[in-house]
Amino acid sequence: MNKGHDFIRKARLAMTNITKELSIAQLNEIPAGFNNNIAWNMAHLIATQQIVCYRRAGIDTVVDAEFVDTYAPGTRPERFITEEEVLRIVELFSTSLDRYELDMHAGLFNNYTAWTTRAGVDVNNINDADAFLPYHEGMHVGYIMALKKLVSKAQ
């Protein structure tokens, strides 16, 4: 396992642990000043990894396209996310990363289309994408922690 993937696993476990005592209403709450919620942020991490790695390499995502499109960058929560969906998100935290690691080892990402992140960083190949993912995950852990403080006070 590479260190970046280890970081992602630990960050996703931390997100699961810091949100597990929240109600489904709290996971869906969008506090003033924010344009999304905790549940969306969690699902967004999976969708982004699928887009950054699979779609940019011209490969079908391993997570269904409807899920990926619903939580892709530039989207926002359009509906209430159910408890069953949150459980699926938590499951996908590990299963999507497991599959990605297998696909990396199999060399599936050779036809990668370069792009530039919103921060101005060029991502030229799957190795660059792999280095970008922990940064993105960490950024959203921060969002989730801030959202948790706000939704916990409101209840």
Specify the pLDDT at position 133: 95
Specify the pLDDT at position 84: 97
**Residue 41: closest CA among 140, 134, 111:** 140
Residue 153 has pLDDT above 90, yes or no: no
Specify the pLDDT at position 3: 87
Residue 155 has pLDDT above 60, yes or no: no
Fold topology of 3-154? Four Helix Bundle (Hemerythrin (Met), subunit A) (1.20.120)
Specify the pLDDT at position 1: 58
- Phi and psi at 74, nearest 5°, equal 90, -5
The structural domains of the chain, with segments of one domain joined by +, span 3-154
Residue 154 has pLDDT above 90, yes or no: no
* pLDDT one-digit tens code per residue, 114-133: 999 998 999 999 999 999 99
